[in-house]
Amino acid sequence: MFIVALAAFASCATLKDGEYTYQIVTTQDVYGRWFDSTFVKPAPRPSLLAVENIIRPMREEGKLILIDAGNMGGNGNAAFYYEKVAKESILPKIIDYLGYDALLPKASLIVRDGIRFAVAPYDEALAFAKKNKADVVIAEIDGKRYDKENPDVTGIDILVAHNDGRSYARMDGNTLVIDSGRSARKVGTSTITIKVEGKKVVDKTVEGQLENVKVEIDEKTREKFADAYAQVSRFSRSVIGKLEIDLDVDEAFKGQSDYINFYQTLALSYPNVDVAFSSFLALGGKIEKGEIIFNDIASTLYPFENKITILSLSGEEIRSFLEASYDLQLQYENGKPSPANFEFGAGINYTVDVNKPLGERVNISSFADGRPFELDQRYNVAMSSYRAVGAGGLLESVGLKSAEAIKSRILEEGPTYRELLYDYIKKDPYITRERISAPSYVGRWEYIR
């Protein structure tokens, strides 16, 4: 727990002398975990609705201010069902039920007992506070930016960091910085005490800590959202397709495989994609043939939140990208790098000659449909949003050495791969080898050993 005394400053004339204490609860990066279940197996977990257990006593005391710092939606089963299938999200009802006072990044002014709380993104927080004559300033910032830039937090009482997967509460000078992590496992609970004399704020103290969210949703809340939960549960268990072949992960280490072809086919199905890169989503084992229920998409077939991202790359950059990737794969045979950074190309025909030195191994002969592949031409290349931020260093290997350089090549960030997968199965529920591994579509590649 951290406590700090802050400097006094003038406020508006409507304040009454006295001491005021408020509980400020912050959530963030919930990413669609609204309910306390996976909807298929009895596996209780912390959730947004379970936050009610923490805030109820604060609300009863009349001193609660509830703020979300962003990323409340997502692609979990509930978010996917309400936003893509039901076409009307239940999230506004959850927000209203929990009684949120501010949802960042939208700037908000909250008034309690005449005391004015400015809530806004970091870059506009102080200007917004000054304009609205705020007594307390609560700002939001990307946690990765906070670490990298060490921004000036003077004048900010509470800085809510998020989007970095960590959780902590600490002081930065006179500012409480609080980050409660992701998936509603924790919340930030801050207490701010304000002393008013002569109708002015003359002193403030703030303390903050993290609080674990209980697994259980209270009965009143559970009953309120029982129908919604039942709808998502039925959808999660519903059969949406059939996998006619096993997808063997280990086959991808030996050469072209149905496993990788499947994800590349999804990427190539997106409009105006010339070439697709796809990587491992798991190591070892099989995705066995059989019926596909919706929950399989999130738990087995694509267990990540990545979006399809389209970049403009030259033919030579595509070739260099594959050179770097296959160099990692050849090193892996000696047990070195992580397979998470292996990428395979699709939509083209190529060979990888392991007998040649790095830079000369990959030869791209043509597109899958026979069109010529030109090294000096630009093409639309699909990859995951994870790779498109530079993860693994493969884009750096083709000369895109900074976030700005990569951003200048991004043409479009499309839907999540889960959405692509769902639409692909709904269009034709039968996943066959002929459909996902057609050489005229995904192309051919092989090792020359």
Class of the 239-448 domain? alpha beta
What pLDDT is attached to residue 5? 41
* Mean per-residue pLDDT, 32-58: 90
pLDDT computed for residue 335 by the predictor: 63
Q: Where are the domains of the chain?
A: 2-233, 239-448
pLDDT higher than 70, residue 251: yes
- For 174-306, strand residue ranges (E) read 175-180, 186-197, 200-212, 239-243, 247-248, 275-279, 286-287, 290-293
- Looking up tokens 């990859």, which residue turns up? 383
Q: Is residue 228 within a helix (H) or strand (E), and if so which, with residue range? A: helix 226-237
The torsion defined by the Cα of 375, 377, 378 and 380, in degrees rounded to 10, comes to -80
What's the CA gap between 231 and 166, in Å, rounded?
A: 32
Average pLDDT of the chain? 91
With bands split at pLDDT 50, 70 and 90, how would you rate the model's confidence at 28?
very high
Q: Which pLDDT score is estimated for 338?
A: 67
Question: So what's the pLDDT on residue 377?
Answer: 98
Quote the pLDDT of residue 197: 93
Tens-digit pLDDT profile for residues 143-198: 999 998 999 999 999 999 999 889 999 999 999 999 999 999 999 999 999 999 99
- Residue located via tokens 């050469």: 255
Residue 315 clears pLDDT 60, i.e. is over it = yes
Q: State pLDDT tens for residues 398-420.
A: 999 998 999 999 999 999 999 99
Q: Has residue 9 got a pLDDT over 60?
A: no
38 near 295, Cβ under 8 Å?
Answer: yes
pLDDT band at 337 (very low <50, low <70, confident <90, very high): low
Model confidence at 221, pLDDT cuts 50, 70, 90, reads: very high
Q: What is the pLDDT of residue 40?
A: 86
CATH number of 2-233: 3.60.21.10
Task: Give 251's contacts (C-beta < 8 A, 6+ positions apart).
Answer: 257, 258, 259
Q: What average pLDDT does the segment 247-264 reach?
A: 91
- Give tens-digit pLDDT for 97-118: 999 999 999 999 999 999 999 9
**What does DSSP assign to residue 15?**
-
Which whole number is the average pLDDT over 42-55?
Answer: 91
Do the domains spanning 2-233 and 239-448 agree at the CATH topology level?
no
Distance of CA 363 to the CA centre of its chain: 36
d(C-alpha 109, C-alpha 28), whole Å: 19
